[in-house]
Chain A
Amino acid sequence: MPIFKKTQSEPKDKASSTQEADDALLHAVRSILVGQERDRLKELEDKILSWKDEIEASDKESKDRIDNILDELNTLDKNSRENRFKSRANTSQIESLLRKSEETKEGLIERIAPVMADLVKRSVQDSPHEMGKILGPAIGSALRQQIRTEKDDLVDALYPVIGETITKSIIEALSEFTKNIDRRLRKRKPQEIITARLQGVSPGELFFRDNLPYQIQRVFLIHRNSGLLLTQVSASGEPNADLDIISGMLTAIRDFAKDSFGESGELNEIKHGDQLILLQTSQDIYVASVLNGTIPQGYNALLSLVVIEVNTKYEDELHNFDGDMDKLPPLQNELRPLLYPYDILKPAGLSRKQKRSTFIIILSFLLFLLLSTFYCIFTIRLWPYAFPSETPHPTATIVMPTATMTQTPHPTVTKTLTPTPTPTLRPDQGAAIGNLNIRSGPGTDNTVLDILYEGELFIILRESHGWLYIRHEAEGEDPLEGWVNALWVTR
């Protein structure tokens, strides 16, 4: 930088040389005045320049980095915008879907329906038990609803599946039932069939009437007023600690029914599953009979009869019963007929009409027999007088068996009917009643060893199926053992 300014203008050459001289002078002055500082300045200037270069280099690097960051920011901004745009698009789509679903259920159904079946299918495949638990009640409910509303449709739909099975089962059961009945009917005794015919019913009907299954399990006798158990009998004999509570509850049920439905009636029957409780009341007591199966004919009447009889018989004791069990009469035996009514309730005897018919039949038969006998006697007695010249044929027929008897070595039936007297025998002895073969074995196929003559004695060693193994000892002969037919032996 110039320290001094030019003060005047001269011709160019001169001026230029002067200028140069000035410069040199100036330079010299400068060197004298600020030589050292100039160097230092120079150094400083160099340093500054170096720093400037560094700064510039640093600036450039920073700028590059900033540019990169800016680029990244721009990219991010761009992405963000794109996302925002997509998000908006999605939101609007969801809103549109929601609007659509709210507007119409059908819209939602349309969208879900295509995947619903797959969804259920997959769930069932993945966890069948869980799905069963979830769907079970719903299916039950749906079925009930369907039965209520579309019963016929459901029946039509199910019939092909279960109808055939049911039909088959019923046919099989009926067939088995028929066979059983038939088998049992065949085993019936002739007198039962005659009884049935006399009663005017078929044997089958009588069979059913007699054999419809029932079993009296227990009979309670209960104090009517207090509901206290007086006594009880049971078929099994098993003790039951709660019988008095049962008696109380039965009484409460009876009372409840009476209070609810009127004093005029009585509760006579309580049904629980296969069990039936029959009740019959008298003045101070009532009887409750627990039975399985069908009520036997006449059983209710028997209950009524027994309860009235017992009440009448022990009227004072039952009427004044105050809970002291020792003061009660022995009532258990009175209930036995109700526990085992099988003999009492056998089919009733013949009706008056049936008895009359039977009497007429028997009388007619006897009359016929009497007339026949009279006719026979009359004919036989009058025959010789009516036809005196003819040979009496009956004599010839009587003689014939005698001839047969003498021709065979074996005794005939006629002889067994009139055995000849034999001496007194020991327990192991026997005597032949007629000429008798001794055989090698028990049976007529076996060889004849010898003959025993009528009245001959022998020792019986053993017996088998109508044949006797004997030992015969005759004087002067060896003892002989063999088999004889027991029919021709007297002991």
Chain B
Amino acid sequence: MSTLIQKKICLLGDFSVGKTSLTERFVYNRFSERYISTIGVKISRKSIVISPEVTLNILIWDLAGSEEFTGVQSSYIQGAKGAIFVCDLTRPKTLESLEKYNRQLEDATPNIPIALVGNKTDLASECKIDRYSLEKEARKFNTIAITTTSAKTGRNVESIFEALAKELV
């Protein structure tokens, strides 16, 4: 019989970087151009078969971002075993904000694995953050994986979630 493991992870990042879109793409494999701002928190679940013996149930807490960093409710981060930091490749400011999210995460639940994601590679001509900047920023956190994604095309979305998932087991 397969062992069931449940883990809570959080998606953190500024307003409109694509946290909800990444979750929607990963959980339901869909994308919507329509932007609906998340209020408070949105919780989704995805089961991943890590091995024939282990099934991981990831509870994804997609936390509402804000235009200017105002922080997230610490209680929403508590109990999380992993986090995905998301920035928008077309807005360098969203990469800078991640340090503040990291401080809040460290206060609530220290030393958990973090995956750093630069989202919106589909807007290639408008990208203002390069790979080097991402890696530089990643050194400041307990980063276990870095990638650039596109929730619109689905590029690298599943792989980054799975990379974090394997780290949790």
Task: Report which A residues bind B (CB closer than 8 A).
Answer: 223, 225-229, 242, 244-245, 248-249, 252, 255-256, 258-259, 322-326
In contact, B59 and A252 (Cβ under 8 angstroms): no
In contact, A258 and B81 (Cβ under 8 angstroms): no
Does B4 belong to the interface (CB within 8 Å)? Answer: yes
6 A-B pairs in the complex with CB atoms less than 8 angstroms apart: A228-B6, A228-B79, A229-B6, A244-B6, A248-B59, A249-B43
B2-35 residues with Cβ-Cβ distance < 8 A to A are 3-8
The residues of A that contact B75 with a CB separation of less than 8 Å are: 255-256, 258-259
The residues of A that contact B79 with a CB separation of less than 8 Å are: 223, 225-228
CA of A241 to CA of B92 in the docked complex: distance in angstroms?
40
In contact, A325 and B73 (Cβ under 8 angstroms): no
Smallest CB–CB gap between B100 and chain A, Å? 18
The residues of B that contact A225 with a CB separation of less than 8 Å are: 78-79
In contact, A322 and B73 (Cβ under 8 angstroms): no
Smallest CB–CB gap between B63 and chain A, Å? 10
In contact, A322 and B81 (Cβ under 8 angstroms): yes
The residues of A that contact B80 with a CB separation of less than 8 Å are: 226
In contact, B3 and A256 (Cβ under 8 angstroms): no
Q: Is the interface of B mostly helix, strand, loop or mixed?
A: strand
Does B40 belong to the interface (CB within 8 Å)? Answer: yes
Does B45 belong to the interface (CB within 8 Å)? Answer: yes
In contact, A244 and B59 (Cβ under 8 angstroms): yes
In contact, B3 and A325 (Cβ under 8 angstroms): yes
Does B44 belong to the interface (CB within 8 Å)? Answer: yes
Smallest CB–CB gap between A239 and chain B, Å? 15
**Per-residue interface assignment for chain B, residues 60 to 83, with 1 indicating a CB less than 8 Å from any chain A CB and 0 otherwise:** 010000000000011110111100
Does B41 belong to the interface (CB within 8 Å)? Answer: yes
CA of A245 to CA of B78 in the docked complex: distance in angstroms?
16
Smallest CB–CB gap between B133 and chain A, Å? 33
The residues of A that contact B168 with a CB separation of less than 8 Å are: 323
The residues of B that contact A249 with a CB separation of less than 8 Å are: 43
Interface centre among B7, B43, B57, B73 (most CB of A within 10 A): B43
In contact, B78 and A244 (Cβ under 8 angstroms): no
CA of A249 to CA of B41 in the docked complex: distance in angstroms?
8
The residues of B that contact A227 with a CB separation of less than 8 Å are: 8, 43, 59, 79
**Top 9 A-B pairs ranked by shortest CB distance?**
A226-B79, A255-B75, A248-B43, A225-B79, A323-B6, A325-B4, A226-B8, A323-B7, A228-B6
B111-127 residues with Cβ-Cβ distance < 8 A to A are none
A254: nearest chain-B partner, CB-CB: B75
Smallest CB–CB gap between A111 and chain B, Å? 50
In contact, B81 and A245 (Cβ under 8 angstroms): no
Task: Report which B residues bind A (CB closer than 8 A).
Answer: 3-8, 40-41, 43-45, 57, 59, 61, 73-76, 78-81, 168
The residues of A that contact B7 with a CB separation of less than 8 Å are: 323
CA of A245 to CA of B6 in the docked complex: distance in angstroms?
12
In contact, A326 and B40 (Cβ under 8 angstroms): no
A322: nearest chain-B partner, CB-CB: B81
CA of A322 to CA of B112 in the docked complex: distance in angstroms?
13
The residues of B that contact A324 with a CB separation of less than 8 Å are: 3, 5
Interface centre among A226, A244, A256, A326 (most CB of B within 10 A): A226
A324: nearest chain-B partner, CB-CB: B5
A230: nearest chain-B partner, CB-CB: B6
A249: nearest chain-B partner, CB-CB: B43
Q: Which of the residues A242, A256, A258, A323 comes within 8 Å of B5, measured between beta carbons?
A: A323
The residues of B that contact A256 with a CB separation of less than 8 Å are: 40, 73, 75
Q: Which of the residues B3, B6, B40, B45 comes within 8 Å of A252, measured between beta carbons?
A: B40
A243: nearest chain-B partner, CB-CB: B45
CA of A256 to CA of B75 in the docked complex: distance in angstroms?
8
Smallest CB–CB gap between B95 and chain A, Å? 27
The residues of B that contact A252 with a CB separation of less than 8 Å are: 40-41, 43, 61, 76
Interface centre among A225, A227, A322 (most CB of B within 10 A): A227
CA of A223 to CA of B81 in the docked complex: distance in angstroms?
14
The residues of B that contact A229 with a CB separation of less than 8 Å are: 6
Q: Which of the residues B5, B41, B57, B76 comes within 8 Å of A244, measured between beta carbons?
A: B57
Q: Which of the residues A244, A248, A255, A323 comes within 8 Å of B73, measured between beta carbons?
A: A255
Interface centre among B7, B75, B78 (most CB of A within 10 A): B75
In contact, A245 and B44 (Cβ under 8 angstroms): yes
CA of A245 to CA of B73 in the docked complex: distance in angstroms?
19
CA of A248 to CA of B3 in the docked complex: distance in angstroms?
21
CA of A326 to CA of B3 in the docked complex: distance in angstroms?
7
B54: nearest chain-A partner, CB-CB: A324
The residues of A that contact B73 with a CB separation of less than 8 Å are: 255-256, 259
Smallest CB–CB gap between A279 and chain B, Å? 15
In contact, B4 and A245 (Cβ under 8 angstroms): no
CA of A373 to CA of B3 in the docked complex: distance in angstroms?
76
A253: nearest chain-B partner, CB-CB: B40
In contact, B44 and A226 (Cβ under 8 angstroms): no
Smallest CB–CB gap between B124 and chain A, Å? 35
CA of A255 to CA of B57 in the docked complex: distance in angstroms?
22
CA of A228 to CA of B76 in the docked complex: distance in angstroms?
12
B74: nearest chain-A partner, CB-CB: A259
A223: nearest chain-B partner, CB-CB: B79
In contact, B8 and A228 (Cβ under 8 angstroms): yes
The residues of A that contact B8 with a CB separation of less than 8 Å are: 226-228, 248, 323
CA of A418 to CA of B4 in the docked complex: distance in angstroms?
76
Smallest CB–CB gap between A154 and chain B, Å? 37
The residues of B that contact A244 with a CB separation of less than 8 Å are: 6, 45, 57, 59
CA of A359 to CA of B8 in the docked complex: distance in angstroms?
60
CA of A248 to CA of B79 in the docked complex: distance in angstroms?
11
The residues of B that contact A322 with a CB separation of less than 8 Å are: 81
CA of A335 to CA of B46 in the docked complex: distance in angstroms?
27
Smallest CB–CB gap between A242 and chain B, Å? 8
The residues of B that contact A259 with a CB separation of less than 8 Å are: 73-75
Knowing A228-B59, A248-B61, the reply to whether A325 touches B6 (Cβ < 8 A) is yes
